[in-house]
């Protein structure tokens, strides 16, 4: 009987440590999602539209133009597998734009758009390359810069 109890405890311990090992997502800065938007700027930062314009076009960093077309240079290098970002600042508010860049999967779990502002913990189930450990794809400042720029697309 005693041995059975020990096995039960051991199994419980193993199960809890596995469960914590596969919890993949850690929130960075606290932010509040209201409806389909994050109304307040991340970490209270203000964005710079010029930096955002340059970041959108950096295909190796932001990746945006791999999927999206828009009023950017080099139209022949822009993807067409996502909505065209022309006029997106008139269609969506700053808060709506922010949530879509932070984590589109909150609105559409099947979205192929990368989750730009979460940290995925390295685990046996999800291998994260060393360069990307403990950091999101974009910083809070970069996301605010993108929001500031996309708002100018009207």
Q: Which residues bind ligand HEC (CB under 6 A)?
A: 56, 62-64, 66-68, 82-83, 88, 91, 97, 100-101, 104, 108, 111-114, 116, 146, 150
| Minimal distance, residue 29 CB to ligand HEC, in Å | 17
Closer by beta carbon to ligand HEC, 11 or else 46: 46
Closer by beta carbon to ligand HEC, 51 or else 91: 91
Closer by beta carbon to ligand HEC, 62 or else 78: 62
| Minimal distance, residue 9 CB to ligand HEC, in Å | 45
Q: Is 28 helix (H, G, I), strand (E, B) or coil?
A: coil
- Spatial separation of the C-alpha atoms in residues 71 and 85, rounded to whole Å: 8
| Minimal distance, residue 153 CB to ligand HEC, in Å | 9
- Spatial separation of the C-alpha atoms in residues 87 and 39, rounded to whole Å: 20
| Minimal distance, residue 12 CB to ligand HEC, in Å | 39
| Minimal distance, residue 17 CB to ligand HEC, in Å | 34
DSSP 8-state symbol, 42 = G
3-state SS, 74-120, equals CHHHCCCCCCCCCCHHHHCCHHHHHHHHHHHHHCCCCCCCCCCCCEE
Closer by beta carbon to ligand HEC, 111 or else 123: 111
- Spatial separation of the C-alpha atoms in residues 65 and 62, rounded to whole Å: 8
Closer by beta carbon to ligand HEC, 42 or else 146: 146
The token pair that represents 12 in the structure block? 């419980």
Q: Which helix (H) or strand (E) holds 25?
A: strand 25-26
């Amino acid at each position: 009987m005693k041995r059975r109890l020990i096995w039960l405890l051991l199994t419980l311990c193993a199960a809890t440590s596995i469960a914590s090992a596969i919890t993949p997502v850690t929130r960075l800065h606290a932010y509040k999602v209201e409806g389909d938007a994050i109304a307040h700027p991340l970490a209270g930062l203000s964005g710079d539209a010029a930096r955002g314009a340059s970041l959108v076009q950096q295909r190796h960093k932001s990746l945006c133009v791999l999927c999206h077309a828009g009023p950017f240079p080099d139209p022949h290098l822009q993807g067409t597998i996502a909505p065209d970002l022309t006029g997106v600042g008139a269609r969506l508010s700053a808060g709506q734009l922010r949530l879509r860049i932070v984590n589109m999967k909150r609105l559409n779990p099947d979205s192929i758009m990368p989750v730009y502002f979460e940290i995925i913990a390295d685990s046996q189930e999800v291998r994260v390359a060393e360069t990307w450990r403990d950091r999101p794809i974009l910083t809070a400042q970069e996301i605010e810069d993108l929001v500031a720029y996309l708002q100018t697309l009207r």
